[in-house]
Structures are given as C-alpha cells and as structure tokens.
Amino acid sequence: MPVDIKSIQLRLKDLGYTPGNTEGVMDEQTANAIRHFQEDKSMVIDGKPSHELHDALYGQANSFDEYLKQTEKKKTQAQQKDGSPADNSAVQKSNFKDAFDNF
C-alpha cells in the first residue's frame, strides 16, 4: 500500500514542521520537514515518506480516526486534571476528518 503523503504533511504541520503544501504532493519542502522530524526522533535521515515515518508521526494510532480519538482523549483528561474549559475540538476534529477523507 502506498504511503499517504497528505496525512504525513498534515501531521508534520500539526507538529510544527514546515512541509509547505499539504495537497499530497511530495516536494523538497516536504522532504526537508521529514528530515527535520527524522533527526529529532533519531531516525534514519533520508527525507523520504515511508510507513515507518507515518507510524512515528501518528504514534500507536493505526488510522487518522484512531489518532484523533487518542488525541481527544488525552486533551479531555488534561482538561479534567487542570479544570480547563472545553473548547471547539469537535469542530476541529470534523475539519481534520474532512481533510483526511478528501485525499
């Protein structure tokens, strides 16, 4: 199964790296963002998208939906712990899901 470039770009951007476009097109800016992530995570630095990279970006999640669920759960737990008010994460989740489903 081919590597999903767009989900890699979106996650890199979410983590503060600068992949450039997030349209699913592999370019030099995306390769540079991948290299920076790989370096930060002590991975082999080759700037290439791979299933290993995707797994490192999304942690234990097997899919984007599972990643969103894990993220939402952690955020809820943190809010309960420190008494933070709820935010618009449901809207954000919907936007991320739409972006993920549309490529």
Predicted confidence band of residue 103 (pLDDT cuts 50, 70, 90)? very low
Scanning the structure block, which residue is given the tokens 């939906």?
65
Query: Domain tally for the chain?
Result: 1
pLDDT of 94 reads: 54
5-36 pLDDT per residue, tens: 999 999 999 999 999 999 999 999 999 999 99
Q: Give the integer Cα–Cα distance in Å for 57 and 85.
A: 28
> Model pTM?
0.61
58-92 pLDDT per residue, tens: 885 555 666 667 777 778 877 787 776 555 555 55
Owning domain of residue 81 = 5-101
